[in-house]
């Protein structure tokens, strides 16, 4: 039986050391869920190892099959352009399949719920609480539409209201969404960062949450996020398994 493809998690990278630390913590949780799967982490910028360098190292080792998984919540510029460009430059001996981005997914909503619960909200608070779903933002209209769709879906679970906010490229900002929920009459306002790791834009979200009643942690290594990575990996390798009759 041929070995299962290496899972290569591709993160954007950041000058903020908390970013890489959080990505590595998430990857460790993925490894704990599937110990026999080889999971590697590469960064597009700022952090090491780089995706290019890691792919070259895998090829030298004799690895043949790789599933490249963008550690992204929406299919915006990095997923559509940056990552495919890097993968096209990989050594020819590697067979690489690019997995889908993480969002949208019910597992991400579960992770958001977990973070709000950890921040102090209880089920009894749901009907009186407005939530700001605070994303990084994008110039890609399709990516923004996905985030707005997540907010609509989340609102159906019983929160008083859910509003989107964006740290860059799009409006409204977090502080404006917080004030809009206050004006709507929400007794309590919570900010839920729809981001995977700390960094410049999550810090901007945190500053914008100053007038909220509570701010949840980033999604980070939440168990639901780790399970979602494995779900995307399995979906990406399924066509190859079908071709082998597995």
Measure the CA–CA gap between 98 and 175, rounded to whole angstroms.
36
Cα 230 from chain centroid (whole Å): 13
- Quick one: pLDDT at residue 240? 55
Straight-line distance from the first to the last Cα atom of the chain, in angstroms, rounded to the nearest whole number: 10
- Quick one: pLDDT at residue 242? 41
Is the predicted pLDDT of residue 78 greater than 80, yes or no?
A: no
Is the predicted pLDDT of residue 8 greater than 90, yes or no?
A: yes
Cα 114 from chain centroid (whole Å): 15
Measure the CA–CA gap between 62 and 119, rounded to whole angstroms.
46
CB contact at 8 A, 209 and 178 = yes
Chain segment 200-229, per-residue pLDDT in tens: 999 999 999 999 999 999 999 999 999 999
Measure the CA–CA gap between 135 and 40, rounded to whole angstroms.
26
Measure the CA–CA gap between 162 and 182, rounded to whole angstroms.
12
Chain segment 86-134, per-residue pLDDT in tens: 999 999 999 999 999 999 999 999 999 999 999 999 999 999 999 999 9
- Work out the number of other CB atoms within 10 angstroms of the CB of residue 45: 12
Chain segment 140-192, per-residue pLDDT in tens: 999 999 999 999 999 999 999 999 999 999 999 999 999 999 999 999 999 99
> Per-residue confidence at 239, pLDDT binned at 50, 70, 90?
low
Tell me the whole-structure pTM to 2 decimals. 0.93
The mean pLDDT value for 135-143 works out to 93
Cα 79 from chain centroid (whole Å): 12
Question: Which two tokens mark 205?
Answer: 């979200």
């Amino acid at each position: 039986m041929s070995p299962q493809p290496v899972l290569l998690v591709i993160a954007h990278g950041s000058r903020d050391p908390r970013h890489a630390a959080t990505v590595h913590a998430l990857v460790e949780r993925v490894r704990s869920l599937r110990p026999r799967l080889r999971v590697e982490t590469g960064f597009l910028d700022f952090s090491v190892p780089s995706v290019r360098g890691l792919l070259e190292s895998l090829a030298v080792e004799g690895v043949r099959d790789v599933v490249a998984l963008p550690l992204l919540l929406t299919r915006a510029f990095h997923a559509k352009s940056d990552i495919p460009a890097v993968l096209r430059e990989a050594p020819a001996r590697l067979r690489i399949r690019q997995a889908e981005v993480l969002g949208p997914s019910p597992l991400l909503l579960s992770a958001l719920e977990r973070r709000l619960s950890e921040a102090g909200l209880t089920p009894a608070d749901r009907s009186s609480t407005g939530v700001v779903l605070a994303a990084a933002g994008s110039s890609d209209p399709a990516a923004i539409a996905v985030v707005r769709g997540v907010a609509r879906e989340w609102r159906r679970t019983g929160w008083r209201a859910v509003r989107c906010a964006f740290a860059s490229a799009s409006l409204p900002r977090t502080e404006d969404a917080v004030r809009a929920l206050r004006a709507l009459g929400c007794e309590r306002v919570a900010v839920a960062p729809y981001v995977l790791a700390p960094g410049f834009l999550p810090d901007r979200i945190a500053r914008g949450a100053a007038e909220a009643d509570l701010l949840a942690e980033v999604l980070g290594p939440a168990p639901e996020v780790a399970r979602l990575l494995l779900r995307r990996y399995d979906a990406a390798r399924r066509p190859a398994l079908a071709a082998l009759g597995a």
